[in-house]
Chains A and B, each alone.
Chain A
Amino acid sequence: MVRLMNEEDIRRALLRLSHQVLEKGVEVADLIIVGIQRRGVPLAKRMSKIIEEFKGKKPGTGILDITLYRDDLTQIAYQPIVRSTDIPFSIDNKRVVLIDDVLYTGRTVRAAIDVLIDFGRPQKIELAVLVDRGHRELPIRADYVGKNVPTSSEERVEVKVREIDGRDEVLLLKKSEVDI
C-alpha cells in the first residue's frame, strides 16, 4: 500500500482545481458544479465553497447518481443501490463542471454526461478529477486533474474523504490487498 496524497495534498489540489476553473473567466452565476455519487459529491461541495470564498458568491451545486445509466449493470453480480440525483435548477446554457474522485475507464463519466443531457442543454460540460490513473476505454479526458498517477490494472486507487470515510487520503493498493 502506498499513500499517494494526504489531507494537505488534497486540500491544495482542490484549491488549484477551483482556481483553474475560474481562470477560464466565467461568471459564477453561469457556473454549476456537479459531483458524481458518491465521493465526487463532497469534493464538489468543497470546490463550491472555495469558489464562494474567493468570489463571494456560491455557484450552483448539484449531485448526480449514474447507476441507472451505467452500461455495465449486467456485468456486476450484486444490486447497486440507486442514490439520489439532485440538480434543483436549470442547467440550460450553463457551464457545468463534473467532479469525480478517480478517472479510470471513462465509463462513469460517459454515463454522467448522458444524465446531464437528459436534464437539459448545457453550454459546456467540463470534467475535473482528483486523480487520473489512466487506462481509458472511451475517448474521454479530464479538463482539470489534481494528480496524475500511472498505475497498472492490477492496482487500485482508493480515495477517502472526511465526509464519508472520516479522513482525507488517496491510497494505491495492490489487488491482493483489496480483496482482504
Chain B
Amino acid sequence: MNFNRKDLLGIESLTKEEILFILETAKSFREVLDRPIKKVPTLRGKTVVNLFFESSTRTRMSFELAEKRLSADILNFSASTSSSTKGETLLDTARNILAMKVDCFVLRHSTPGTPHLLAKKLPVSIINAGDGAHEHPTQALLDLYTIREKKGKIEGLKIAIVGDIAHSRVARSNIWGMCKLGAKVRVCGPPTLIPPLVEKMGVEVFYSLEDALTGVDIVMMLRIQKERQNKGFLPSNSEYIDFFSLNEEKLNLAQPDVLVMHPGPVNRGIELPARIADGEKSIILDQVTNGVAVRMAVLYLLLAKR
C-alpha cells in the first residue's frame, strides 16, 4: 500500500489500513533506535519546523529527537498564543517561515482545526502535534503501537479511558484509532467532563470507575487540568481523587494482566499513585520510547517522497 497523504491531521480521517501501515513502518524505526548509531540519513536536506503555541516539553522533545534521528534540519518556534493575538496571525507566522523554504510544520496549538487551516493554505506537510481538544494523532499512534507490542493485537481488547474526556485530544484520537482497530472502548469520568453524544463515536460511557475497570485489558488514565475546578466542572480536585483516582483495589477489578497507560506528564497522587505509575503493570515509559519511533515513521511517510 502507498501512504499518499500530504499531512497528518487526525486519526478520524485515517483508514484502518493506513493506521496499520504507519504502525508497521514504525517497527522498522523502533529497530533503528536499538542500533549503536541511532541515526539514519533519510531526511537529509529536509527542514522541519516545530511550531509550538502551547508549551509541551515532552511532545516537542519527542518530535525533535525523531527529526534528528532522521537527519532533518530543525527549526524551533515557540510562542504563547496570547502573544500571537497581538499582531501576527498563525497563518502570517507560518507564511513567513515558509518563505525560508521549509518542508514541514509540526504544529501544536490550543485551537482545534489550526493544523487544518495551515494544511489548506500551505503547500508543505503539516503534522498535528495536538490541536486543542480535537486530536493528537501521533500520541494515539504511539499508544496503539505500545498496546500492539505488549498484547500482540488490539482487536477484541477492552480498553477504559478515564478522566477529562471532554477536553482531551488524546481521548478523541485514541477512541477513533482503537475503534477502527476493533477494540471495545469505554470512557469514564464525571458527567461534566464527558462530552455530549460521545457514545456515537463508538464508546460506552461509565460514571463509575469501578464499573468501567471491570474486566478491562488496558486502562488509560488521562491528565486532569487543575483549573477544571475553577470553571465549575468539578466541586474540588480532592473530590475528583475520591471518585476517579486509580488504586490497587480498583485495578484488581480489571483482567489480571491489565496494563496501565498515561499520556504524561502524570500528576502523581491525582490520576494514579506513584506505586502504580512505576509498578509492573505500567507501560508509561514504553509509550515514551515508542513515541520517537512512531514520529520517525510519520515524518518518513510524509516527507521521504516527492
Which residues of A are interface residues toward B (Cβ below 8 A)?
A: 65, 67-69, 73-79, 81-86, 114, 118-120
Q: Which of A65, A83, A84, A118 has the most CB of B within 10 A?
A: A118
Q: CB within 8 A of A79: which of B32, B37, B42, B304?
A: B304
Also in contact, A77 and B306, with CB within 8 A (given A82-B25, A82-B300, A84-B28): yes
Instruction: Give Cα distance in the complex from A69 to B35, angstroms.
Output: 15
Also in contact, A77 and B305, with CB within 8 A (given A68-B40, A114-B41, A120-B36): yes
Q: Does B4 belong to the interface (CB within 8 Å)?
A: yes
Which residues of A lie under 8 Å from residue B301 when comparing CB positions?
79
Which residues of B are interface residues toward A (Cβ below 8 A)?
A: 2-4, 25, 27-29, 31-32, 35-37, 39-42, 70, 300-301, 304-306
Instruction: Using CB atoms, name the residue of chain A closest to B39.
Output: A118
Q: Are A79 and B31 in contact (CB under 8 A)?
A: no
Instruction: Give Cα distance in the complex from A69 to B300, angstroms.
Output: 12
CB distance from A138 to the nearest CB of B (A): 16
Instruction: Give Cα distance in the complex from A75 to B306, angstroms.
Output: 6
Q: Are A82 and B28 in contact (CB under 8 A)?
A: yes
CB distance from A120 to the nearest CB of B (A): 7
User: Can you sample 12 A-B contacts with CB below 8 Å?
Assistant: A67-B42, A68-B41, A68-B70, A69-B42, A74-B304, A77-B305, A79-B3, A79-B301, A82-B28, A82-B300, A119-B36, A120-B36
Which residues of A lie under 8 Å from residue B4 when comparing CB positions?
78-79
Q: Which of A68, A86, A118, A120 has the most CB of B within 10 A?
A: A68
* The 9 A-B residue pairs with the shortest CB-CB distance in the complex, in nearest-first order: A82-B28, A68-B40, A118-B37, A68-B42, A73-B304, A79-B3, A78-B2, A79-B2, A77-B306
Which residues of A lie under 8 Å from residue B41 when comparing CB positions?
68-69, 114
**New contact pairs (7) apart from A77-B305, A82-B300, CB-CB < 8 Å:** A68-B28, A69-B42, A73-B304, A74-B306, A76-B305, A82-B25, A118-B36
CB distance from A63 to the nearest CB of B (A): 11
Instruction: Give Cα distance in the complex from A74 to B35, angstroms.
Output: 25
CB distance from B45 to the nearest CB of A (A): 8
Instruction: Give Cα distance in the complex from A69 to B42, angstroms.
Output: 6
Q: Are B37 and A73 in contact (CB under 8 A)?
A: no
Instruction: Give Cα distance in the complex from A64 to B42, angstroms.
Output: 15
Q: Are A78 and B28 in contact (CB under 8 A)?
A: no
Also in contact, A65 and B28, with CB within 8 A (given A119-B37, A120-B36): yes
Instruction: Using CB atoms, name the residue of chain A closest to B70.
Output: A68
Instruction: Give Cα distance in the complex from A108 to B29, angstroms.
Output: 20
Q: Which of A77, A82, A119 has the most CB of B within 10 A?
A: A82
Instruction: Give Cα distance in the complex from A91 to B37, angstroms.
Output: 13
Which residues of A lie under 8 Å from residue B305 when comparing CB positions?
73-74, 76-79
Which residues of B lie under 8 Å from residue A78 when comparing CB positions?
2, 4, 305
CB distance from A32 to the nearest CB of B (A): 16
Q: Which of B32, B301, B305 has the most CB of A within 10 A?
A: B305
